[in-house]
């Protein structure tokens, strides 16, 4: 999914990375020409942008996706079909996020003061309402939901169980920020203003753990941040800071997703207007052990950024789904180390596949 802070008001760009233990720069390599690229090397704006390419996706994948739409739809990649999620809310689904044994759905409704919060049981497929709130993110343990509500000048934070029970009563919080994620260091708050800072605070409040212009990811006690000109990995336990050079000059890091095994992280560098109205997507995977960037095959590509997203499967495959120029709607699978993508054409809802989560991957 395209990671964000509950609604489109603020994009929560999360990137997980490992500590290098020193100040050596992170290297990169392209999928077509493996090898370490010297520090300071970057793609030029004139670098050719391709259409999405790869081998036909054949055989069973066991892959199903839940795509945020109105109503949400289940995409069966093997069967090549999609169907509405039974019992799902109508009125404009805002987001879908995985929780323990199911999926958290946030959906607006006509006349509602705040989007409704729903949980889909991963076993039965049943959908039940658990509450309402402007912003909601899964608790770190997957067994609850943090709800950040904004009602005029009154803003609160509460925690609900997946059954809708109150686990932490609502308390006042500042209205100039929005909840992004629950992390091992505390709650990550994003700024509503472009020039504002992002912070990590304990769930119960009471002081900052970390502050930066933008916090891209939290991995254990390490934080990857963006200070406008450079990416920095900080060990909050020791205070050690490590520079993480960008692998490309294309756009900015829109989101990053750590692989289930914790060995790599997928990061999409997006250019929303190149040269307009065309847009570019450039997806890289950072190998945390080798400290090398590897470009996903076929990148960079022309894509509709607001209709495309990505997610990891439990077995370590990266799923790209969305709308691509000269290709149309498609699902692409890639396992880090493979020399090519595996593609299958598809037809998504008009809103595309900007926000989706993996339901099952065999």
pLDDT (tens digit, 9 = 90+) per residue, 30-66? 333 322 222 233 334 456 788 899 999 988 999 999 9
Q: List Cβ neighbours of 222 (8 Å cut-off, separation of 6 or more).
A: 17, 18, 19, 233, 234, 235, 236
pLDDT at position 112 is 65
Number of folded domains that form the chain: 1
Provide the whole-model pTM: 0.80
Confidence check: pLDDT of 108 > 80: no
The residue segments making up the domain with residue 330 are: 48-360
Q: Is residue 17 part of a domain?
A: no
**Rounded Cα distance, 340 and 155, in Å:** 47
Q: Are strands 222-226 and 27-29 parallel, antiparallel or unpaired?
A: unpaired
The C-alpha atoms of residue 347 and residue 274 are separated, in whole angstroms, by 25
- 64-106 pLDDT, tens digit per residue, is 999 998 889 999 999 988 899 988 887 777 788 888 888 998 8
331 lies in some domain:
yes
In this predicted structure, the answer to whether residue 321 has a pLDDT above a threshold of 90 is: yes
Q: Tokens standing for 110?
A: 């006509």
In the block, residue with structure tokens 């069966």? 76
pLDDT, residue 69, reads 87
CATH at residue 281: 2.130.10.10
The answer to the question of residue 316 being in a domain is: yes
Joined tokens for residue 329:
């709607």
Asked whether residue 189 is assigned to any structural domain, the reply reads yes
Tokens of 14: 């999360």
Q: Which residues, at least 6 apart from 281, have a Cβ–Cβ distance to it below 8 Å?
A: 268, 269, 270, 299, 300, 301, 302, 303, 305, 308
**Residue 6 counted as domain residue:** no
Q: Is 348 domain-assigned?
A: yes
Cα atoms in the Cβ-side hemisphere of radius 13 Å centred on 349: 22
**Residue 109 pLDDT grade (very low, low, confident, very high; cuts 50, 70, 90):** low
Is the confidence at residue 124, as pLDDT, over 60?
Answer: yes
Q: Is the pLDDT of residue 221 over 60?
A: yes
* Average pLDDT of span 189-209: 87
- The pLDDT assigned to 28 comes to 41
pLDDT bin (cut points 50, 70, 90) of residue 300 is very high
84-115 core/surface letters (b: 16 or more CB in 10 A; e: else) = ebeebbeebbbbbbbbeebbbbbbbeeeeebb
- The answer on pLDDT for 14 being more than 80 is no
Q: State the pLDDT confidence band at 234, using cuts at 50, 70 and 90.
A: confident
Could you identify the residue written with the tokens 């879908």? 96
pLDDT at 201: 94
What distance, in Å, lies between the first and last C-alpha atoms of the chain?
19
pLDDT at residue 10 is higher than 70: no
Burial group, residue 21, by CB count within 10 angstroms (0-12, 13-18, 19+): exposed
Does a structural domain hold residue 328?
A: yes
Q: Would residue 40 count as lying in a domain?
A: no
* Residue 220, SS3 per DSSP: coil
At 110 the pLDDT is 59
Query: Which residue did the predictor score with more confidence, 108 or 120?
Result: 120
Quote the percentage of the chain above a pLDDT of 70.
Answer: 83
Q: How would residue 224 be classed by pLDDT, with cut points 50, 70 and 90?
A: confident
Query: What are the φ and ψ backbone dihedral angles of 198, each rounded to 5 degrees?
Result: -105, 150
Q: How far is CA 332 from CA 14, 42, 176, 237, in A?
A: 21, 26, 38, 39
**Going by C-beta distance under 8 Å and a sequence separation of 6 or more, which residues neighbour residue 165?**
none
- Tokens 């090398």: give the residue: 292
Are 179 and 135 contacting, i.e. CB atoms less than 8 angstroms apart?
A: yes
pLDDT digits (tens, 9 = 90+) for 238-290: 998 888 888 888 888 876 787 888 778 788 888 887 666 679 999 988 777 77
């Amino acid at each position: 999914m395209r990671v964000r802070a509950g609604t489109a008001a603020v994009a929560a760009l999360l990137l997980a990375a490992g500590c290098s233990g020193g100040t050596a720069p992170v290297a990169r390599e392209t999928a077509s020409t493996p090898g370490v690229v010297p520090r300071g090397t970057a793609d030029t704006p004139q670098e050719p942008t391709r259409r999405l390419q790869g081998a036909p996706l054949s055989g069973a994948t066991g892959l199903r996706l839940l795509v945020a739409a109105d109503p949400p739809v289940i995409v069966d990649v093997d069967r090549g079909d999609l169907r509405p999620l039974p019992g799902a809310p109508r009125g404009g689904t805002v987001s879908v996020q995985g929780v323990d044994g199911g999926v958290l759905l946030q959906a607006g409704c006509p006349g509602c003061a705040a989007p409704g919060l729903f949980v889909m049981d991963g076993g039965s497929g049943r959908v039940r309402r658990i509450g309402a709130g402007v912003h909601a993110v899964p608790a770190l343990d997957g067994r609850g939901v943090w709800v950040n509500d904004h009602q005029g000048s009154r803003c609160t934070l509460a925690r609900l169980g997946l059954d809708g029970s109150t686990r932490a009563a609502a308390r006042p919080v500042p209205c100039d920020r929005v909840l992004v994620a629950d992390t091992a260091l505390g709650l990550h708050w994003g700024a509503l203003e472009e020039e504002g800072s992002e912070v990590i605070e304990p769930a119960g409040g009471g002081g900052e753990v970390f502050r930066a212009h933008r916090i891209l990811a939290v991995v254990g006690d390490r934080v990857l941040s963006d200070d406008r000109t450079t990416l920095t990995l900080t060990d909050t336990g020791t205070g050690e800071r490590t520079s993480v050079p960008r692998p490309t000059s294309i756009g900015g890091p829109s989101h990053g997703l750590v692989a289930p095994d914790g060995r790599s992280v997928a990061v999409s560098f997006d250019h929303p207007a190149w040269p307009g109205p065309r847009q570019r997507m450039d997806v890289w995977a950072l190998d945390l052990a080798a400290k090398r960037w590897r470009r996903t095959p076929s990148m960079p590509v022309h894509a509709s950024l607001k209709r495309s997203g990505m997610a990891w499967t439990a077995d370590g495959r990266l799923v790209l789904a969305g709308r691509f120029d000269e290709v149309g709607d498609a699902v692409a699978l890639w396992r880090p180390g493979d020399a090519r993508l595996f593609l299958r054409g598809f037809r998504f809802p008009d809103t595309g596949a900007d926000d989706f989560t993996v339901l099952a991957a065999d």
